[in-house]
Structure 1
Amino acid sequence: MKKHLLALAAALLAASAGAADKTGIELQYIDPAIRAQDDFFKHLNGKWLASTEIPAEMSSWGVWEKLYEDIQPQLRKIIEDAAQSAANADQKRIGDFYAAYMDEARLEQLGAAPIQPELARIAALSDKKQLPALFAYHNRHNFAAPIDLGIHQDNKDSTKYVVDFVQSGLGMPDRDYYLKKNDAKMAETLAKYQATVEKMLALAGDSNAAANAKAVVAFETKIAQLHWDKVALRDPVKAYNKVPVAKLGALMPGYDWNAYLTGLGVAGKVDYVIVSQPSYLKALDKLLADTPLDTLKPYFAWNVIRANAPYLSKAFVDANFEFYGKQLGGATEQRPRWKRGVSATEGALGEIIGKAYVEQHFPAANKARMEELVKNLLAAYKDSIDTLAWMSPQTKKEAQAKLAKFTPKIGYPNKWRDYSKLVIDRNDLLGNVTRATEFAVQKELDKLGKPIDRDEWGMTPQTINAYYNPELNEIVFPAAILQPPFFDANADDAVNYGAIGAVIGHEISHGFDDQGAQYDGDGNLRDWWTARDHKNFKARTKMLVKQYSAFSPVKGYKVNGELTLGENIADNSGLAIAYKAYKLSLGGKPAPVIEGYSGDQRFYQGWAQAWRAKARDAALIQQVTTDPHSPEEFRTNGTLRNQPGFYEAFGVKKGDRMYLAPKDRVIIW
């Protein structure tokens, strides 16, 4: 969640004048021993970094995590109030789901019993011809399978929804965790993963758990070998492979596509599908043919256990945490039960809780001020496009047309989701989770054949994050981030623009990063660039890849400049646009000097303070392996080194560690 798109987490600590110095910056954390010109991230945040311990239950800690933790009691109160009053059916659903989660005594009594029907279903398999129906069942219940799917707009016909089949089937975060066996940390994680599979199979009653765990990991390793890597997955053109339903058999001759589509409930509803990784499906066909059913059964059983472990007895919960929390994230303690209960209830009933959250914690003034800021950033972007020296008038015209079609969504959706058909039972936690999953999946499948819902949100209002959706050409800012310390209408403009302004600019910039720039204003994959402008754009992005590929958060692990390119473009362009918008907001008047800092200095301080965070090594390794976002330190310094205004504001000169020669600086938009 944190790193999704912008991970707005850090966005506006600077804006809270009540919590910080009157500059809007927490000056007590500045480390004067580190020069601003040498390491701005550690200069501004150094004393905080030195004195702050990551909480035992967390894999990282910073502004985002703190705000997330701060709103948990608010959400808990909404949930517990609903449980007490149960004034309507939706409140009863909230209260009953949470009560079922918190009834640990009942879960201990049940042990592995709730998943036995699912395991029996798998044990009853007698022929590989039954696999497509099982794949479909797993897809509908959010249990991992080697093929998964999504429902979204057709990337070349934005008026239609389409089924998109994608590679899947791994129990660890990425193929590298299986394939980098010469990496000591990865090898250790793989061994502990196999031990976890064995332990949890045994807890579920498998008398041959050791051998089956070994077979499961071997099979997943073979799947990993077939997976496209994270960089290849970023190319929307390569991932757009339109296949008529009648010709799916050519990809996997040994797979009964009709049984699969029927099991999903989409047979007869679509004439074609999108296959994102066709080479993967072709290779998977052979792998399934070569793999004994006696290996596939424990593989599918493991995925049922893994998906349901958080909702079973303590033995399952603890085993799950030992690997996914400790080994992969570095946390040393589990989050308190009530916090996990809040998260689980949100996962099932997010918009019901969100509606109450908005009513209680989102002032109308915040939305109005945010709308004004978005308007200002869009105006600055428009001006920036007009003045680009490297882009031709023809491509500028297309870029302006796309910008004009941007749709901002702020705070909460115009219409709320209807949960009236979702059954929640106070005495059936796993059943509640299963029904909520089926409800959510069916909602997606029901989109097929219907008009595009342009009012739908991909996040709940209480989510501390934001996103850009290229298919809808929209920028979305949920309510939870639009509050102090993220956003304060009374805060210093310099800090607001350096933090929330850069956030807005970041999301707009996703429409023009290396992926987003391949879509037009209607959300269609369409090349609207001249050949010359393509060349100029790629020259700049190549420089950015090189810059970030040099950063290393943990010895032996470097940032993947290609994987993080889109986010790095958005950071660099977003901050540059926010700076222009801030200057425009001054109306030609000089900014006040506060506590000895100019407006420009406070603007860049706001940016660096917003990304104040630290993380455990295990979390950083997972981040650079799987996450399109660079670690916060490099998002801060890497972006600032490319900003001309930063050099002027802090007198950065040749010989300083933050210095890049003008020819090496990258500003794209």
Structure 2
Amino acid sequence: MKNHQNISISAALTAILLAGNLPGKAQSNPANDPVFQNIDQSVKPGTDFFHYANGKWLKDNPIPPAYSSWGIGNVVTEDIRIRLKKINENAVQARAAKGTSTQKIGDFYYSGMDSLNIDKQGVTAINEPLNKIEQIKDIKGLLDVTAYLSTIGARAFVGTYVGQDDKNSSKMMLQLGQTGLGLPNREYYFKTDARTSKIRTDYAGQYMPKMFKLSGLSDEQAQAAAKSVFAIEKDLADSSRKLEDLRDPYHNYNKMPVSELNKLTPNINWNTYFANAGIAKVDTVIVGQPEFYVAVNKYLKTFTIADWKAYLRWKLLTAYAPFLSKDFDQENFRFTGMVLSGRKVQLPRWKRVLDTENGIMGELLGQLFVKEYFPMKAKLRYTNLVEAIKQSYREHIAQLDWMSPETKQKALYKLNTINAKVGYPDKWKDFSNLNIDRGSYAVNVMHARHWAYLNNINKLGKPVDHTEWNMTPQTYNANYEPSNNEITLPAAQFIIPGIKDEDIDDAVVYGYSAASTIGHEITHGFDDEGRQYDAKGNLKAWWTPSDSVKFTQRAQVLVNQFNSYVVLDSLHVNGKACLGENIADLGGIVLGVDAFKKTAQYKEGKTINGLTPMQRFFLGYAIGWLGQQRDEELAQRILTDVHAPGFLRVNGPFSDVPEFYEAFGVKKGDAMWIDPDKRVKIW
């Protein structure tokens, strides 16, 4: 996954969409040059290329108080939000017929903006699930309510979803994974550094008690509830696998009959649980982390029913706090926004409502959005660029000196069968069963989450829908899905803010789009995890044993390289956890370089604003990671994210690419220099 911090933006700014691999007009005006204008000439390229390429922009664009990070996606987002706001306000005024997309969008936005009604309702907006929690008397009741809460987006200690069977990608299977924590991941419960300890102290000693009091508990009850919940979460964390251990697809694939799962966890009747969760006729499940559920089975009796009721209350409150009255919303932001992420102020309500709407019913919004702003012809541009990268990859595979002919043949077959979803879906999701009105914001969110839940579990036992998108067109991101052997490239991902496509030359396009996005996602099919899936998306050994060993040896050099980077305080990059993304970054760059070498611009060799075509390629790649984060946010990502920080996604892989050294005259002794025999070369 490309992952620009999951920023959602529009696919529709056609004036600033890149031209794919169509020739761009050479831009010689420095003020309108998408790469020259960002350069910080006080930094040497071989010392810190990220800050050389982006430093001027970073100095001129400090992080606004309402944000924990600020970058290229945010700039576009601000413009897009204005456009989305117009669509929503028009929908509010339209008072369209019940059941139409316009009605649902308008009523959702109206309910979210009606702060007087939201404050008046307070916690009563979620009284129905709160009452169900209060009525729990035993373990059976606890499990029944836990199942119900999962259907409205308040997941507790059971993580169910329907997805493709890793070893039989044509089948949709019920799957269970570890879940249930309130802090970002397990490390937050155990790390003893000052930064993490401070977060943990606030979470258990201030945030929890305050939220419980707001929900109606007395001081004494709130303190007791907080103590119970933190104890449960800490035990769940202790039973959870680490971030890097979740990347082994074989280790996290444990298929078993429900009858066997019942024996593994005798305190949980899974047949009853699934029925209460609306999941019928399940005889087999895939359990990602069986030991987690063995531990849950024990904890059901280790902790009292009162403890568990407090825990479920907490899961519900934190799932819906942003949609409740001002006091809930502000305390939730104080911890999640300020303490965890370092934000200074909260976004205005209209932006928060739009972001919520886009997150839970984004494809409904996207249908209206692309109809007004995004032309179909853009799909062809990016489809052509995909083929340029595929051809580069074919040539790289053919020339590998470490891979056997047998594995090469299968790798080429897998590459050729990768399906690229470009721009926006040809078939939209059906939202006809989603009920939205102007009554309650929290209830509307509940309805939308329930719709999404049903949309997922209703796939059980049905053929895989290869037309379905897992992102909206207005999402600033992209991904590779191993079970489908496909890449999804939302049109929004190809935007450079404020620059018309005719003013962007191929060098920048190939760095920003072909290398940073398309090449990156295609390489995911052959990274440490993706390579374990065959051309049909099945978890299956298709490499020769010796080729697997050679790949692992080369990948380990990349792990070691990133392990050596200290990011903040004593926090190092977790080279193993982010190996897949680092392989994809490096692969995307080398594929993009060779694809770009075939273009007329590269062959002509003309400079633009004093920059050679290859220099512009690397600068184009670098603006894909244009951005900066607050320390709090950066620390959180180091512990929870499988992506390295943005500046290392530039400096790290560039240090392994010979063309980078040649383009900028990087010499031994420069900070980014790595001796040739120690550079990583996989693809």
Give the TM-score taking structure 2 as reference length: 0.94
What SS does the corresponding residue of 1:584 show, helix, strand or coil?
coil
Structural mapping, 1:508-523, within 5 Å: 508-523=522-537
User: Is 2:13 the partner of 1:3?
Assistant: no
Equivalent residue number for residue 566 of structure 1: 580
**Contact preservation (8 Å) 1:150, 1:163:** yes
Q: Which moved more, 1:308-317 or 1:340-349?
A: 340-349
C-alpha contact (below 8 Å) 1:572/1:639 kept by paired residues: yes
Shift of 1:27: 2.7
Q: Counterparts of 2:174 and 2:519 in 1: how far apart (Å)?
A: 32
Structure 1: gaps (5+ residues)? none
Secondary structure class of the residue paired with 1:301: helix
Secondary structure, counterpart of 1:553 in structure 2: strand
Partner of residue 379, structure 1 = 391
- CA positional deviation for 1:22: 7.5
Equivalent-residue separation in structure 1 for 2:624 and 2:102 (angstroms): 36
Structure 1 distance, partners of 2:29, 2:197, is: 45
Query: Post-superposition shift, 1:588?
Result: 8.1
- Equivalence for 1:145: 156
Aligned-pair distance for 1:307? 0.7
1: CA distance, partners of 2:258 / 2:67: 45
Q: 2:46 matched to 1:34?
A: no
Task: Map 1:77-156 onto structure 2 (within 5 A).
Answer: 77-88=86-97, 89-156=100-167
SS of the aligned residue for 1:454 comes to coil
- The residue type paired with residue 72 of structure 2 is V
1:18-38 per-residue CA deviation (whole Å, 9 max, x = no partner) reads 897388444343222221121
Q: Which moved more, 1:492-501 or 1:19-28?
A: 19-28
Tell me the residue number matched to 2:79. 70
Return the letter of the residue paired with 1:191.
T
2:269 aligns with 256
Hey, what's the Cα distance between the residues in 2 that align with 1:590 and 1:267? 64
Q: Which moved more, 1:552-561 or 1:226-235?
A: 552-561
Change (3 A) 1:489 1:167: farther
| 22 and 340 in structure 1: CA distance in 2 versus 1, 3 angstrom threshold | closer
Q: Mapping of 1:117-516 within 5 angstroms?
A: 117-180=128-191, 182-194=192-204, 195-207=206-218, 208-268=221-281, 270-485=282-497, 488=501, 491-502=504-515, 503-516=517-530
Contact 2:38 2:55 in 1 (8 A): yes
Alpha-carbon distance change, 20 to 140 in structure 1, aligned in 2, over 3 angstroms: farther
Q: How many angstroms does 1:448 deviate by?
A: 1.1
Task: Classify the secondary structure of the residue corresponding to 1:570.
Answer: helix
* CA drift at 1:140: 1.0
- What amino acid maps onto 1:568 in structure 2? N
Decide whether the 8 Å contact of 2:35 with 2:616 is kept in 1.
no
Q: Residue 514 of structure 1 aligns to a residue in which SS?
A: coil
Q: Deviations over 1:150-209 (max 9, x none)?
A: 2111111111100110111011100111111x2111111011111111101100001210
CA distance in 2, matches of 1:482, 1:331: 28
Q: Which moved more, 1:638-647 or 1:362-371?
A: 362-371
Deviations 1:244-289 (A, max 9, x none): 1121112201111121111122232x32110000111112211222
Runs of 4 or more, structure 1, over 6 Å off, are: 4-9, 11-20
Partner residue of 1:48? Answer: 57
Change (3 A) 1:450 1:14: closer
Distance 1:288 1:133 in 2: 13
- CA positional deviation for 1:119: 1.7
Structure 1 counterpart SS, 2:628: strand
Deviation for aligned residue 1:47: 2.6
TM-aligned CA deviation for residue 348 of structure 1: 3.5
CA separation of 1:36 and 1:402: change in aligned 2, threshold 3 A: same
Percent identity of the aligned residues?
42
Amino acid at match of 2:350: W
The CA RMSD over aligned residues, in Å, is 2.2
| Aligned 8 A contact 2:257 2:283 in 1 | yes
Query: Partner residue of 1:661?
Result: 675
Q: Which letter does structure 2 place at the counterpart of 1:353?
A: L
CA contact (8 A) 1:5 1:466 kept: no
Partner of 1:545: 559
- Deviation of the 1:558 alpha carbon: 1.1
Letter in 2 for 1:539: Q
* Mean Cα deviation higher: 71-80 or 489-498: 489-498
Q: Which amino acid aligns with 2:202?
A: K
C-alpha distance in 1, partners of 2:376/2:27?
21
Tell me how many residue pairs correspond in the alignment.
Answer: 666
Inter-CA distance 318–398: structure 2 relative to 1 (3 Å threshold): same
Distance 2:83 2:296 in 1: 46
Alignment partners' CA distance in 1, 2:6 and 2:556? 21
Contact 2:6–2:476 at 8 Å: present in 1 too?
no
Q: 1:234 and 1:489, CA in 2 relative to 1: closer, same or farther beyond 3 A? A: farther
Query: Is 331-340 or 486-495 further displaced after alignment?
Result: 486-495
Write out aligned runs for 1:589-608 (5 A).
Answer: 589-608=603-622
Whichever residue aligns with residue 379 of structure 1, its letter is: Q
Q: Secondary structure in 2 aligned to 1:364?
A: coil
* Compared CA separation, residues 356 and 388, structure 1 to 2 (3 A): same
In structure 1, distance between residues paired with 2:425 and 2:269: 40
Larger deviation, residues 355-364 vs 542-551: 355-364
Which SS does the other structure have where 1:371 is aligned?
A: helix
CA deviation vs aligned residue, 1:505-531 (integer Å, no higher than 9, x gap): 000011111110000111100111111
Q: Is the 8 A contact 1:14 1:25 kept in 2?
A: no
Unaligned runs of 5+ in 2: none
**Equivalent residue number for residue 640 of structure 2:** 626
**1:507 and 1:19, CA in 2 relative to 1: closer, same or farther beyond 3 A?**
farther
- Further displaced range: 518-527 or 87-96: 87-96
